[in-house]
Structure 1
Amino acid sequence: MSNSPGADSKPSLSFLDLANRCNNFHLPADHGSVDPTTSIHRDYVVPWSLSQSPDSAIIGLLKPDVIDVLLQEPEGTFVTLERATPGSRYRISFHPSIDTPSKRTDAMRRLCERWRDSGTIFQDTIGPKKWRNEMYPVYRNPFGVHSSDTSNYLFEMERSACSLFGVATFGVHMTVYHEDADGSNVRIWTPTRSRTKQTWPGYLDNSVAGGIPSGMSTFEALVKESMEEASIAEDLVRKHAKCAGSVSYYFQTAEGRLQPEVQYVYDLKVPPNVDSTSFQPSPMDGEVESFDLLPLDVVVAKMKQGLFKANCAVVLIDFLLRRGYLTPDNEPDFMEIVTRMHTRFEFDRW
């Protein structure tokens, strides 16, 4: 994926193209098959499990370059890489002594900080310029209860490192829009990301978007991001923002890093007959360059030009589906689009 908007865009991407750009991680057909010359499985990724127990939860997926570095860690300090039987597939896991959420969090913190400060290890992903200094939770079941006081919670880790380990992350995206009384003339507040942003600089984004850090509920994260990114007051968000569902997808970055993500989707319709200036977003924390109120047809045209960040285009497709702009009658790829936007990651197959 290019780092500049429009550089790799086509004259007109379809809605299915846009969904596929976001949900783009697919293993080769021969993954897991046995090489007849060596009797060893062809493993393009290796499961990261909580332990070596056969019924242990799969946390994420690791590429060979990450495994090679992990195996240089001193014996017993972090990981165990084993085959259940000779010739069977590898599983990598925490060392048996690292068996509580606090121990796992501490192990990941020390590991990631050492890689960050090395000057050589995964600097394109976790180096000082990419470091977010924000902790993300890791759950046993990405679609289970998201709370640190349940058995589903496993540990937390630095945000920028999550894609190295292929763990699921979670965020909130909100569409702030105006429409006429009859539901027509929809206009959406559309930000342009800062040209100095660590990821997707200069691309178009959703009105409000951000990750959900450890210890924060989904809605509180939305309230925080609305103020920090768009200067939208807390009381307006609490009164008018409505949960509209979620999207999930398995994204692979241009560098080959793995990002399974769930985005909780919200709408904020600017009420009619009010002073709309209080709802007008404006940049606050430097992550957004500007906001423009764009007619829906202009938003769609820019989506099809490839000018939106990949997951933001998917959130907007979800908006179009929910409002009946895309239907089985006017979109031949309707079901393909819907399924691409609601993947379950299939961790259990690994």
Structure 2
Amino acid sequence: MRRSFLHVVERCDNFRPVDTLEHLYAFALSSNSKSESVVGLIRPNVLAAINDDNLASSHQASFVIDSTAQRLSFASHITTPEDRSNVIADLCARWRSHGLFSDVIGGRLWRNELYAVYANPFGQRTAGSAAFTMERSACALFGVITYGVHMTIYHPPVADNEEVKIWVPKRAATKQTWPGYLDNSVAGGIPAGEQVFDTIIKESMEEASITEHTVRAHARSVGAISYFYRTEKGYLQPEVEFVYHMAVPLHEQEAFQLKPLDGEVESFALMSISDVISNMHEGKFKPNCAVVLLDFLIHHGHVTPDNEPHFLEITTRMHGRFDFDRW
């Protein structure tokens, strides 16, 4: 009997906020109205650190903590995206300098890259629509929704008896997160102010030496996945990944080659889909990359309602809303 892929999803979509909201504080843009958008979920230890920072400040506090409503918000004088971004940046820099949350933002874990946080995480992403920006590595401390791009590059079968083959990178041993794990052909987070497809173009060159011309000619958007990941240390990271596929034309397959460029990838292997599936079941892929590949298997008819007993459970959990409306 074929093994179910449900465990692949469970390894990545491993948190249900609806079951634990009583232990979390909603992180809102303003304390003025209950209808103001909530953008994150704060754990008690992070809330305590924010409270300590408020008490230690010689200036007007930047955050308001409402214990009755279990709500953290920016203070009333913090009203613009620039103000919010500056407050968050200063707070995280102080934490880092004092060694707080060193397992999240300390040392090399600090990425020096800004992510955008949106009042409506499922709304239109336009220039200037971010509620604020913050250091990438600190996003899990505030439980905000982050965004990335993942692309599967594959060789369609040349003959009827051949399998699809997928380009699979091995993450460098020096990576800040998940070193040595298998990854998607091209993947990366979307920096603040950058468009989705521009990120695919940038990451394709930086990670795999693929030209912009090739990406524009062959990459195709096929949707998005979303999942709520809780790290091994308990921090909350709801994520959305925009998904792309790129089929290498038959006449280009012999010469097509992915090559590491920026040091984030150790090597690339052109792997049969049977080997990809085996590695997925063995947990050798970074968890969210395995889910992206599962999405590929569904798109291409390898996983169906007839051969996967948990098909509906899998497909709905790969496109969740994080219980966001209840935060």
The TM-score normalised by the length of structure 2 is 0.94
CA distance in 2, matches of 1:74, 1:89: 19
Instruction: Classify the secondary structure of the residue corresponding to 1:73.
Output: helix
Equivalent in 78, 100, 111 of residue 80 of structure 2 = 100
TM-superposed CA distance for 1:274, in Å, is 2.5
TM-superposed CA distance for 1:149, in Å, is 2.6
Structure 2 partner of 1:299: 276
CA distance in 2, matches of 1:309, 1:80: 37
Indicate the RMSD between aligned Cα atoms, in angstroms: 1.6
Number of residue pairs the alignment of both structures matches? 320
The superposition leaves residues 235-261 of structure 1 with CA deviations (integer Å, 9 ceiling, x where unpaired) of 100111000111000000001111100
CA distance in 2, matches of 1:302, 1:328: 22
The answer to whether structure 1 residue 289 and structure 2 residue 266 are counterparts is: yes
Richer in helix (by share): 2
The superposition leaves residues 187-209 of structure 1 with CA deviations (integer Å, 9 ceiling, x where unpaired) of 00000001111101110000000
TM-superposed CA distance for 1:267, in Å, is 0.5
Asked if structure 1 preserves the Cα contact closer than 8 Å seen for 2:17 and 2:323, the reply is: no
Instruction: Classify the secondary structure of the residue corresponding to 2:23.
Output: coil
The superposition leaves residues 205-231 of structure 1 with CA deviations (integer Å, 9 ceiling, x where unpaired) of 000000000111000000000000111
Instruction: Classify the secondary structure of the residue corresponding to 1:145.
Output: coil
Instruction: Classify the secondary structure of the residue corresponding to 2:86.
Output: helix
Equivalent in 143, 163, 179 of residue 185 of structure 1 = 163
Structure 2 partner of 1:35: none
TM-superposed CA distance for 1:182, in Å, is 6.2
CA distance in 2, matches of 1:305, 1:295: 15
Equivalent in 14, 18, 27 of residue 24 of structure 1 = 14
Structure 2 partner of 1:121: 100
Equivalent in 97, 100, 113 of residue 134 of structure 1 = 113
Structure 2 partner of 1:271: 249
Asked if structure 2 preserves the Cα contact closer than 8 Å seen for 1:47 and 1:91, the reply is: yes
Structure 2 partner of 1:56: 36
CA distance in 1, matches of 2:253, 2:221: 23
CA distance in 2, matches of 1:146, 1:90: 29
Structure 2 partner of 1:224: 202
Q: Which runs of 5+ in 2 are unaligned?
A: none
Q: Which runs of 5+ in 1 are unaligned?
A: 1-11, 33-42
Structure 2 partner of 1:196: 174
Identity of aligned residues (%): 49
Of residues 204-213 and 268-277 in structure 1, the stretch that sits farther from structure 2 once superposed is 268-277
CA distance in 1, matches of 2:316, 2:24: 23
The answer to whether structure 1 residue 148 and structure 2 residue 132 are counterparts is: no
Q: Which amino acid aligns with 2:174?
A: T
Q: Which amino acid aligns with 2:10?
A: N
Name the CA shift for 1:136/1:163 in 2 (closer, same or farther; >3 Å): same
Q: Which amino acid aligns with 1:81?
A: I
Structure 2 partner of 1:4: none
Equivalent in 43, 47, 58 of residue 67 of structure 1 = 47
Asked if structure 1 preserves the Cα contact closer than 8 Å seen for 2:42 and 2:142, the reply is: yes
The superposition leaves residues 119-166 of structure 1 with CA deviations (integer Å, 9 ceiling, x where unpaired) of x2000101122100000000011110112333xx20100000001000
